[in-house]
Structure 1
Amino acid sequence: MKLFTYEEWGVPQSGFDTSYTFVRSHFVSPATLACIRAVLCLYSFTTIITCYTWLAHKTATISLKDVNLDPYTIQQGNAAIGQSFSFFTYLTFWSLGFYFLISAFHTFTYAFRRRTWLHTWPLPLQLLHTLFYSTITCFPFLVTIVFWGTMNSGWPAGRFEQWINLSVHGLNSVFAIVEIVLPATQPQPWNHLSVVLLVLSGYLGLAYLTQETQGFYVYEWMNPAHGKGGIVLHIVGYAGGMIALFVLARYAVVARNAVARRIGAVEEEMGEKGMKLDDG
C-alpha cells in the first residue's frame, strides 16, 4: 500500500490542473489576472526594498505589547534588516512577493500562449506550487490578526512606521484575499493543513535558533522569563487559529466556485432565452 500519492495532495497522475485553474479566473481575463498579480508582486518587493533602505539610514520606533505583557518600545535600525529574516511577518511578506512573481509569470504565459511551464513541470514542483498556494492563503491572516489583535499597542507617530505596519500587517491579508477570490483554483486539499502546521512548527524552531545565535527573542512571549505556561498557551492558540483560518480559506474557495457556477448557469440560461427570442 502506498503511503504517499500525488493525487491525495492535489496533483493527479492523470494530469496536473487540466482546467488551468491556477492561471485563469471566473471573473476576469487571464491577462487581467496576470497584471493584478504582477502589481502585487511589484508592491511587495518595493515595500521590502524601501523598508530596508529606510532602516539602513534611520531608526524606527515600534510600540508593542502582548496578552500577558505590558506595552514596550523597541528601536529598529540597520541591524533590523538582517533580523527581519527571523520574523514571521517578513518571511510571510517575502513569500507573497515570490508567489506573485511566479504566478504572474505563468499567468502571462497562459494569457498569450494558452500554455504554461507550470503545467509541464515535474510532479514534485507542481506539488510545491499547490502547497505554496495553500500557505499564502492562510499565513497572512494569522499575521494580521495576531498583530492588530494582541501585539499592537497604539498607532505609531512616524509616517514610515504607519506605512510599513499597514503594508506588512494589513495589505498582506488583502493580497491573500485576492488569491482566494480571483483565481479559479480548486479547494485546498485537507492534508495541506498538516504542511501548514509543520511550517508553523518549523518557524518556532527558527525563532529559538535566532535566540541562540543572535541573542534576542523574535517575540517576547517566547522568553521563558515571562512564564513557560504563557509559551504553551501561545503555541496552542496559534495552532488552533491556524486550523480555523485554513478551514475558512478552504470554504471561501468552495463558496467562490459555487458563486461562479451559479453566475455561469444564469448567463447560460439568459443566452438560451435570447436564442429562442431570435428564433421567434
Structure 2
Amino acid sequence: MLPRVLAFGTDPWDPTNRFFTSWLIPPYALAALRALFSLYAFTTLIFNLGYLCAHPDLGGCATSRTEFSYFTVLTYWGLAFYLAVAAVHTFSYARYGAPLLARWPRPLKALHALYYSSVTSYPFIVTIVYWGILYPYGGAWFPDVYDGWSNISQHALNSFFALFEILVPRTQPQPWIHVLWLIVILAFYLALAYLTRATKGFYVYSFLDPTKEGPLVAAYVFGIAVAAILIFGIVKFVIWARRYVTEEKMGRRGKFAFRRTAEELEMVGPGAFAGK
C-alpha cells in the first residue's frame, strides 16, 4: 500500500460537493456564472492576441507571441481554464447529482484542489505587483481605451474572479501543503522569465533586471514568495470565516441538486444520487 501522502489520502474526497455548490446560489446559477466569467477571460486573452498581431506599431505578431512569457497572462489563462472546467463539473453536478470529477482518479481530484488554490492566490499577487510596482505613476490614465480595458481585465477583474471563488462556493480552507507547490510553480515561472531573457533578449518585468535593480532583484523575488505565503494564509482564513458565518451562524448549509442536504450527502457519498 502506498503511503498516505503518495496515495493522496484515503478518506472520501469532497463528499458534499463543496467545490461545485454554493451557500448562496443554486448549482445551475453557479455553473452559469463560472461559464460567463470564463468566456469573458478567454475573450480578453484571444482579443489581446489578435489586437497586438493586427497592429504593427505595437510590435505585431512578434509581440503577440511574447504574451505567453508574462505571469499576468499565464495566470489569466489558468483562471479562464479553471472557471471553464469548474463550470462543466458544476453543470454535471446540477444535472446528474454528481460532478464528472467524482469519476476521475484520486490524483486528479487532488490536482483540482491545488488548481483552486492557485486561482485564489496568484491573481492577488498579479494585482498587487502591477498596481503597486509596474503601473506608471504619471498622473495620467492609459493613453487609449484598449489599454485601459485590457489592463483592468487582467489586473483587476482577475482578483474579482478569484474573490468570487473564495466567497460564493462552499469550498473548505485548503491544506498548507499547497503553499509549497505554489512556491514551486513561482520558481518555475522565474526560470521561464530568465529563459525568455536568454532567448528573446528582454526582461518580462523590469524588476527582474539585475543591471538596473542590482541586489534588489533578490528582494523582489523573495518578497513575492513571502507575499504568496501571506496571501494563501489570508485566503485560507477568509474561506474559514465565510464557512463559519454562512453555515454556523446563518444556517446556510448549501444549495444542492435534487434538494439533497449536506447531512444526506455526508452519509451516502457524492455519487449516490447520480441519475436520479
User: Structure 2-normalised TM-score?
Assistant: 0.86
Match of 1:264, SS state, is coil
Unaligned runs of 5+ in 2: 254-276
Residue 139 in 1 paired to residue 108 in 2?
A: no
| CA distance, structure 2, for counterparts of residue 228 and residue 265 of structure 1 | 53
Q: How does 1:58-207 map to 2 (within 5 A)?
A: 58=55, 75-154=58-137, 155-207=141-193
Residue 239 in 1 paired to residue 228 in 2?
A: no
| CA distance, structure 2, for counterparts of residue 115 and residue 257 of structure 1 | 22
Q: Which amino acid aligns with 1:127?
A: A
Higher relative contact order (CA 8 A, sep 6+): 2
CA deviation after TM superposition for structure 1 residue 120, in Å: 1.5
CA deviation after TM superposition for structure 1 residue 230, in Å: 1.2
On the 8 A contact 1:6/1:127 being kept in 2, the answer is: no
C-alpha RMSD over aligned residues: 1.9
Which range moved further: 87-96 or 146-155? 146-155
User: Structure 1-normalised TM-score?
Assistant: 0.85
On the 8 A contact 2:23/2:252 being kept in 1, the answer is: no
Unaligned runs of 5+ in 1: 61-74, 267-280
CA deviation after TM superposition for structure 1 residue 99, in Å: 0.1
Q: Which amino acid aligns with 1:257?
A: R
Q: Which amino acid aligns with 2:75?
A: T
> Cα gap change, 1:141/1:197 in structure 2, threshold over 3 Å: closer, same or farther?
same
Deviation per residue, 1:113-150 (Å, 9 max, x gap): 10112011101111110100000000000000110011
Q: Which amino acid aligns with 1:211?
A: R
What is aligned with 1:37? Answer: 34
Q: Among the aligned pairs, what percent are the same residue? A: 39
| CA distance, structure 2, for counterparts of residue 213 and residue 96 of structure 1 | 27
> Cα gap change, 1:162/1:227 in structure 2, threshold over 3 Å: closer, same or farther?
closer
What is aligned with 2:250? Answer: 263
On the 8 A contact 2:53/2:59 being kept in 1, the answer is: no
| CA distance, structure 2, for counterparts of residue 56 and residue 152 of structure 1 | 23
| CA distance, structure 2, for counterparts of residue 179 and residue 222 of structure 1 | 31
Q: Which is greater in Rg?
A: 1
Deviation per residue, 1:74-130 (Å, 9 max, x gap): x55322221111100000000011001100000000011101120111011111101
On the 8 A contact 1:141/1:245 being kept in 2, the answer is: yes
CA deviation after TM superposition for structure 1 residue 4, in Å: 5.4
Residue 20 in 1 paired to residue 6 in 2?
A: no
From 253, 261, 279, the equivalent of 2:239 is: 253
| CA distance, structure 1, for counterparts of residue 125 and residue 218 of structure 2 | 18
Deviation per residue, 1:255-278 (Å, 9 max, x gap): 110111111179xxxxxxxxxxxx
Which range moved further: 123-132 or 216-225? 216-225
Q: Which amino acid aligns with 2:19?
A: F
What is aligned with 1:72? Answer: none
CA deviation after TM superposition for structure 1 residue 6, in Å: 5.8
| CA distance, structure 1, for counterparts of residue 117 and residue 63 of structure 2 | 29
> Cα gap change, 1:220/1:265 in structure 2, threshold over 3 Å: closer, same or farther?
closer
| CA distance, structure 2, for counterparts of residue 91 and residue 152 of structure 1 | 19
CA deviation after TM superposition for structure 1 residue 166, in Å: 0.3
| CA distance, structure 1, for counterparts of residue 245 and residue 184 of structure 2 | 32
